[in-house]
Amino acid sequence: MALPLKLTAPGVSAERIHQALLLAEAVLEKAGVTPEEGVAGLGACEVWDIHDFAEDMTPSDEQCRAAAVLDEAQHVAMRCCYGDAVPPNGASLDVAS
């Protein structure tokens, strides 16, 4: 079973956070990506970036896609919570552990 998403959104009502989580989950579900796959893909892409895009550390296409889907889910959640405003420090969409 996939781990649930956790949304931290300072200054946002519980109802709006719930709505944002549903939207983020829908993005992942539509793409067929679990939250864990998104986190793993994001981690692989970040490691590749840290190592100056070393050829031997290139993430797979699936990892890049999963990272992009998780990024889109976060964007959708933040837009639901804050509209066009820049989310405050501390706002994040994570996988609950």
What pLDDT was estimated at residue 31? 97
Per-residue pLDDT reduced to its tens digit, 1-35 = 456 899 999 999 999 999 999 999 999 999 999 99
pLDDT of residue 1: 45
Quote the pLDDT of residue 50: 77
Residue 12 lies in a domain: no
Instruction: Report if residue 61 sits inside a domain.
Output: yes
**44 within some domain:** yes
Query: What is the tens place of the pLDDT at every residue in 34-86?
Result: 999 999 998 898 888 777 777 777 889 999 999 999 999 999 999 999 999 99
- pLDDT value at residue 71: 93
Tell whether 28 is covered by a domain.
no
Task: Give the domain range for residue 65.
Answer: 36-83
Whether 8 maps to a domain, the answer reads no
Question: Would residue 45 count as lying in a domain?
Answer: yes
Q: Is residue 6 part of a domain?
A: no
Contacts by residues 40-47 (CB-CB < 8 Å, ≥ 24 positions apart) = 40/66, 41/65, 41/66, 41/67, 41/68, 41/70, 42/66, 42/67, 42/70, 42/71
Domain count, the chain: 1
Does 60 fall in a domain?
yes
